[in-house]
Structure 1
Amino acid sequence: MDMLSAGLFWERRDVPGSEHVRLDTRNGLYARGTALAAAPVGYTCRYEIQTDPGWTTARLDVHTEGAGWARGVRLELAAGRWRVTTSEQGDLDAALVAAGHARAGLPGIEDPDLLYGAFDADLGGSPLTNTLPIRRLGLLESDTDVSHRLSVAWVRVPSLEVIQADQIYTPLGGNTVRFASETFAADLTVDDEGFVLDYPGLARRVAPDVRPAAGFS
């Protein structure tokens, strides 16, 4: 297994949980991460993500598991089209209903062509994937208060449903980027490399960590 010498750690602010990721940024992004959360049911989420040198998502593998269930989804982008494969064991719905929540949808997406035009994958609950459009679009160096509307492949966690979602990123100057969807908005504080320091209402980065930098090895 390759050793990844940069690492980031976040604590969740919405539910008890945390996320730890090891990564390399020498040729785009390669990252392996683990997230833990206590809601809507207790789960572990393990993921692996690879972008091309321009930070367009090339592949995202995600696996979630909890008591009595496990799910997986793999997204791959090639020639502008997404391929989505899934796996499922046990009964996540039973765990959700027992916890007082609605049943989940199936992992994946019925028609991957609905994702056509999306260049970023967004993993629900993970502050890491907000960095992808920030770096791909060069938002920390671009004009402030100019909004960028994106179509993304949004992966819901823990169900691993994949949904086409419209999102808006707006650089506000300095190290602040506004993230918005149809029903939500937050001003993200990021470091000089575009990795989230503070995502109000979701996660906050905590020490100790090793910040990635250009040419990090």
Structure 2
Amino acid sequence: MPRTLLWQRTDVHGAEHVVFDDRRGLTARGVALAAGPVPYECRYELDTSPGWLTTRFDAVAEGGGWQRKLHMERVDGRWRVTASELGDLTAAGQPNALQPGAEDPDLLVDVLDIDLQNSPLTNTLPLRRLGLITGTVEIVAAWVLLPSLTVIANAQTYTALGPGRVRYASGSFTADLELDEDGYVVRYPGLATR
């Protein structure tokens, strides 16, 4: 039977709920809600291989007067990315919003993981794929910005700090994540808790 997790956002009013099966890789269906930077809802589906290599990610983000869709699929070692937009996110209060999707999918050639912005769930993907128990690993993730659904190749570092604790770093940002026994985030300081 599927399992479920629910995170409460601690930085803005919002939450993330996911229904998932992780017996042979991960199959997940979730929804993320937030009051800012503009109020939005993002529904997503995510699939990985049995080894936790991301194979497919679909998302629909919407708010007052706009909707954006994103489809990402890994085929023959390359990402296929398609996106669309209805309405106008910039007119809805996010004037600097980039277009949905990836301007150049070839920049994602080294990407094995999806990182949905402000989603505690997607931090688990590289941890489970790499079996991080000790040491430090560096990855490049496809960072999916919310609410724009813009996709950017993003360098990230995960450092094991001891049982149930991992330091996440990207650029100058760091956060010490608390994890349960299955590697799912329990507490993401400044972002979310469950």
The answer, yes or no, to whether TM exceeds 0.5 is yes
Cα RMSD of the aligned pairs, angstroms, is 0.9
Partner of 2:149: 160
Give the aligned residue type for 1:71. Answer: R
- TM-superposed CA distance for 1:21, in Å, is 0.5
- TM-superposed CA distance for 1:5, in Å, is 2.5
The SS at the match of 2:167 is strand
State the number of aligned residues.
Answer: 194
Partner of 1:111: 104
- TM-superposed CA distance for 1:79, in Å, is 2.3
Partner of 2:8: 11
| Residue 192 of structure 2 corresponds to residue 203 of structure 1 | yes
- TM-superposed CA distance for 1:38, in Å, is 0.3
- TM-superposed CA distance for 1:204, in Å, is 0.3
- TM-superposed CA distance for 1:80, in Å, is 1.9
- TM-superposed CA distance for 1:130, in Å, is 0.2
Structure 1 unaligned segments of length 5 or more: list them.
206-217
Give the aligned residue type for 1:122. Answer: D
From 12, 15, 33, the counterpart of 1:36: 33
Q: Distance in 2 between matches of 1:70 and 1:22?
A: 23
- How high is the TM-score relative to the length of structure 2? 0.98
Give the aligned residue type for 2:6. Answer: F
Q: Distance in 2 between matches of 1:102 and 1:199?
A: 28
CA displacement 1:91-124 (0-9 Å, x = unmatched): 100012xxxx542000001110001111001001
Q: Distance in 2 between matches of 1:175 and 1:201?
A: 18
| Residue 57 of structure 2 corresponds to residue 68 of structure 1 | no
The higher radius of gyration belongs to 1
| Residue 82 of structure 2 corresponds to residue 82 of structure 1 | no
| Residue 15 of structure 2 corresponds to residue 26 of structure 1 | no
Structure 2 unaligned segments of length 5 or more: list them.
none
Give the aligned residue type for 1:175. Answer: G
From 134, 137, 145, the counterpart of 1:148: 137
Partner of 1:130: 123
- How high is the TM-score relative to the length of structure 1? 0.87
Partner of 1:191: 180
Give the aligned residue type for 2:57. Answer: L
Give the aligned residue type for 2:142. Answer: A
Q: Aligned residues: percent identity? A: 56
Q: Distance in 1 between matches of 2:85 and 2:95?
A: 18
Q: Which has the higher contact order (CA 8 A, sep 6+)?
A: 1
- TM-superposed CA distance for 1:77, in Å, is 1.2
